[in-house]
Amino acid sequence: MPTIAIVGAGPGLGLAIARTFGGHGFDVALIARTKDKLDSLAARLGAEGVTAAAFPADVLDRPSLAAALDAAAERFGGIDVLEYSPAPHSPVPGLTMAVPTEVTVDNLQPQIEYTLYGALAAARAVLPAMRQAGAGTLLVTTGGGSVHPVPMLGNVNAAAAALRNWVLNLHNELAGSGVYAAHVAINAWIGEGGPEGIPTATPARIAALYWDLYERRDQPELVFNG
């Protein structure tokens, strides 16, 4: 069975991606901070016929993230797809928002630690085996502000744009290697009840785009505008 590791797994998009890939025969490694929530997601997937397991880790603790991915690879015999989309649904100490004129080293650095450095650690944990095998996929998610920034997220968007740049360049480097990397920018509210004027989309609809990217492997970036 192929395996997808979902970093930032939660009950919204993460669960939808797990269901989409699981429905196509994938085992699922769920990675996020809270073990109880991951165990609940794994149980839900198991009840739907998808083999899933929890591997708690914090993207701000890079050794723990690498260890979780190593454990997932050992448990399932390897990782074929890495999907990275951590999005704090509860407060994360040190993470604040700032408009561009109020961005400082102190409020930007935590965003870079969370967004960029976490992705680098995750990629470094899975890329050696993928490159050796000549096969694998990395799908890295940010908000739409990585492409079209908005003032209220001045520091958040800057960190996400750095991650986007790195993923697009990784795609270029890996061309012809059998390993595929792509960036997904979600410029929409996931689920219902979003702010007025912001497009909304169901997690299932967005998750289908990840499967399409995985199958087609023909573009470095997808910007979803709802």
Cβ neighbours of 194 (radius 10 Å):
14
Q: What is the pLDDT of residue 188?
A: 78
Quote the CA–CA distance of 107 and 98 in Å, as a whole number: 7
* pLDDT, tens digit (0-9, with 9 covering 90-100), for 123-180: 999 999 999 999 999 999 999 999 999 999 999 999 999 999 999 999 999 999 999 9
Q: Does the structure show a pLDDT above 60 at 194?
A: no
Q: What is the pLDDT of residue 90?
A: 54
Q: Give the mean pLDDT of 92-102.
A: 87
> Tokens in use for 125?
């944990």
| φ/ψ of residue 107, rounded to 5 | -95, -10
Sign of CA dihedral 123, 27, 61, 157: positive
Q: Does the structure show a pLDDT above 80 at 75?
A: yes
Q: Any idea where the domains of the chain sit in the sequence?
A: 3-224
Q: What is the pLDDT of residue 83?
A: 98
Task: Kindly report the CATH number that applies to the domain delimited by 3-224.
Answer: 3.40.50.720
Place of tokens 């050794």: 63
pLDDT band at 192 (very low <50, low <70, confident <90, very high): low
Q: Is there a contact between 20 and 210 (Cβ–Cβ < 8 Å)?
A: yes
pLDDT band at 190 (very low <50, low <70, confident <90, very high): confident
The DSSP bridge pattern shows strands 3-7 and 81-84 to be: parallel
Of 124, 138, 27, 147, which Cα lies nearest the Cα of 82? 138
At residue 179, what is the residue type?
V
Output the average pLDDT for the chain.
93
Cβ neighbours of 23 (radius 10 Å):
13
| Extended beta strands in 144-213, E state | 179-186, 189-190, 200-201
Q: Compare 187 and 172 and report the one with higher pLDDT.
A: 172
Quote the CA–CA distance of 92 and 90 in Å, as a whole number: 6
Of 178, 187, 145, 179, which Cα lies nearest the Cα of 162? 145
